[in-house]
A and B are shown apart, each in its own frame.
Chain A
Amino acid sequence: MKFMKSLVVASAITAGFLANSVQAGTLDAVKEKGYVNAGVSGKVIGFSAPDAKGNWTGMDVDFARAVAAAIFDDPAKARFTPVAFKEAFTALQSGEIDLLTRNTTWTFQRDTKLGLEFVGTLFYDGQGFMVKKELGVKSALELDGASVCTQSGTTTELNISDYFTAKGMTYKPVVYESADEATVIYDTGRCDVYTTDTSGLAARRTTLGNPKDHIILPEVISKEPLGPAVRQGDQQWSDIVRWTLFALINAEEMGITSKNVDEKLKSNNPAVKRFLGVDADFGQYLGLSADWAYRIIKHVGNYGELYERNVGPNTALGLERGVNALWTDGGLMYAPPVR
């Protein structure tokens, strides 16, 4: 099965590259086909997963909807393709998807070497450890010699190698192809530790047999800025995706929400008027209409709304804003002004 999968990937890559790769004109291509095709993980609760009714929910999903709203004035014009981690970059490179929004960490090599462009950070995360309570471990520094379950092909695999080497500790990696398998096998007791991004740990813990028997250790061993990525070489398209992200953050900073955005159209604040395209047409520089930002906020909401709806304290994940708060509240969320 795996071999077949690899063959399919290889064929897809080869076929993709044999055909002339699509470089510019992603926006035109998207408009022509009538939807934005976003690659998502499809399995991480709070980021991208179908809910009980089969509707896609999560931060990553909502971000793709925001892009669709800016282009088509209709968030339903975003379609979602679940891509395995291994195939994610290839799917984007070969043009199978228009946008990768798959809680993917922005790293140097991914940005420079793979023909991808990360447009910003949607969620600041970091890698952590989950262990069984009964082991009595209080800190990651006590994990010398532990068996560690994780998912293959992620930055997680590299971070953990770096961390244990730096601390002079040993560990036994047990690597599975998907996070699902890794979680299930961790639950059987094959491993002492399960490691991934802390948001992922919180999401995964809810799926374990007995979530209360497991604790997440306080150490965060890496920086994992999770953000959307596009193909390199189409400046217009990367601008659209980048400014969609900035629009979400700017809207929260200016206090514009999906509920009050219509009232804000009558605002006297020049920055708000500019942002919503009331008396200026900034959208033209993106190849979009003047009300592109209005459409995003109207249909999807601002960054704060996305966060509270998907991963905030009142959700199953129950994550505080922390470093993901606005810069004005002591967090890292900061966007250049629209002017």
Chain B
Amino acid sequence: MQGLIDRKQSLYCSLFFGFGVITDRKSTNFCTATDSMADRYDRETDKTKRSMLNDTRVRGWVAQALVLAVIACVAGYAVYNVGQNLHKAGITTGFGFLNDPSGFDISQTLVSYSGESTYARALLVGLLNTMLVSVLGIIFATILGFFLGVIRLSPNWLVSKMAEAYTEIVRNVPLLLQILFWYLAILAPLPGPRQALNFNNWIYLCNRGMQIPRPVTEAGFGGVPIAFAIAVIFSIILVRWARLRQQKTGIRFPAYPVSFGVVVMLPLVVLLAAGVPVHWDVPALHGFNFRGGITILPELIALWLSLTLYSATFIGEYVRSGIMAVDKGQREATFALGYSPWLTYRLVIIPQAMRVVTPPLISQYLTLIKNSSLAVVIGYPDLVHVFAGTALNQSGQAVEIITITMAVYLTLSITISLFMNWYNKKFALRGF
């Protein structure tokens, strides 16, 4: 009787799989489990050889193969048809245009680029600009978000209410408006370059952005990055050694402050020993604008600021929910053992809270990356603005460019997703 039910169950599984309805891993395991039970039942009770037609597993595979074939056919037909219609409409297709010179300039380029560079290079410039603002946004939104989440649970009424008010106001205003607001709020009060705010002839602030000096390395600088790398490797070993020793003997060693000191001091010593082979390229007003140094565009500042402030409110709520999900007995027990509040948070509360925080945090990071494409409203040259905007119109290769752009966003998102899932797995409760 038990066997009959199992077989029925396994048949349903195959059917479901055949039509691609269930894809989640738990049900896979479940099906495999019942399948093997059904097999065992078959082997034990029915020794006669059974026809392939009646084998539920084979049926399942056949059904899956059929569905896959149909999907492949439809996709293949769609691609072929698009190609045919483009050809009929007299539109040149293919990815050859990526090697053509683009002919337009871009306001912020992290790699060398000019109008003579190729479309592929423009794609890279746009991608790097998207990544720059996304990474900056993710780092600062995480810091601010954790801060918000923690202080919102503070017993201090004023502090907690201020965090609440900030969260409610900022997360309920559309991001697009916030970007425009910050852009105009930054541009409006700043003077033109000729009346730029001058900080000690070193840093200038005007409506063309922030002008900061750029370090230019000279011969003999090579030892500094090597010293830095050695210091980092040393620090990693030191931290591991300290942890092992504490586990064995209980004696603690201040590994983090010492590592920090080594990472800062060692390159510094090498730098001084080499006679400081660095000079500064200081910005100076020349004609209309500043020349030299690095220009931080007002568009970048506005976009980074709005992405950070907006995403931090969500992250703050995730952190708050994570902390509240930790049983209060944990906190009480830690206090009873004489831990300080800081150590209680660092060693007991946050590690457990992270299990709850990580999954929504992944979504928030992905949302932030995709939101960075709103850059286009303030003229920040991100991937969508440069590639799916200017390059699309100059080359006219709409299908190719939109496909590439979507593929790039997909790759970015999946990479982050994979990393965060790995992190989540690492810190998930064992034994599930």
Contacts and interface: CB of A to CB of B under 8 A. Distances in A.
Interface of A: 1-3, 6-7, 9-10, 13-14, 17-18, 20-21, 23, 85-86, 89-90, 93, 109-110, 113-115, 135, 143-147, 152-154, 157-158, 160-162, 165, 171-177, 181-182, 185, 188-190, 192, 231-233
Contact of B82 (A7, A14, A176): A14
Nearest to B77: A18
Contacts of B388: 6
Interface in B402-418: 402-403, 405-406, 409
Contacts of B374: 1-2
B399 A173 contact: no
Contacts of A182: 379
Interface of B: 78, 81-82, 85-86, 88-92, 103-107, 114-115, 176, 184, 187-188, 192, 207-208, 286-289, 291, 298-299, 370, 373-379, 381, 384-385, 388-390, 392-394, 396, 398-399, 402-403, 405-406, 409
A90 B207 contact: no
Contact of B287 (A145, A174, A232): A145
Nearest to B392: A86
Given A161-B104, A190-B298, A14 B207 contact: no
B287 A177 contact: no
A2 B384 contact: yes
Contacts of B106: 173, 175
B89 A232 contact: yes
A18 B78 contact: yes
Nearest to B403: A10
A86 B299 CA distance: 21
Contacts of A175: 106-107, 379, 381, 385, 390
Contacts of A154: 393
B39 to A, nearest CB: 45
Nearest to B399: A13
Contacts of A2: 373-377, 384-385
Contacts of B385: 2, 152, 175, 177
7 contacts: A2-B384, A90-B398, A115-B89, A146-B288, A161-B115, A177-B377, A177-B379
Contacts of B389: 86, 152-153, 177
Given A146-B288, A161-B103, A185-B187, A176 B379 contact: yes
A205 B149 CA distance: 49
- 8 closest cross-chain pairs (CB), A and B: A153-B393, A161-B115, A10-B402, A115-B90, A115-B89, A17-B85, A115-B91, A114-B396
Given A109-B396, A158-B115, A181-B377, 9 more contacts: A2-B376, A9-B402, A17-B85, A85-B393, A115-B90, A152-B393, A153-B390, A188-B187, A190-B187
A135 B385 CA distance: 30
Contacts of A9: 398, 402
Nearest to B191: A189
A185 B377 CA distance: 11
B374 to A, nearest CB: 6
A145 B289 contact: yes
Nearest to B406: A10
Contacts of B107: 172-175
B81 A181 contact: no
A93 B390 CA distance: 18
A135 B194 CA distance: 11
A182 B291 CA distance: 24
B392 A153 contact: yes
A10 B208 CA distance: 34
Contact of B379 (A10, A89, A174): A174
A146 B290 CA distance: 10
B379 A181 contact: yes
Contacts of B82: 14, 17-18
A115 B85 CA distance: 11
Contacts of B392: 86, 153
A162 B298 CA distance: 26
Contacts of A6: 384, 388, 402, 405
Contact of A173 (B91, B105, B403, B409): B105
A157 B394 contact: yes
Contacts of B298: 190
A288 B292 CA distance: 65
Contacts of B396: 89, 109-110, 113-114
B288 A143 contact: yes
Nearest to A232: B90
A61 B2 CA distance: 78
A158 B88 contact: no
A154 B92 CA distance: 20
Nearest to B115: A161
A152 B207 CA distance: 21
A186 to B, nearest CB: 11
A173 B122 CA distance: 14
A205 B289 CA distance: 24
A60 to B, nearest CB: 19
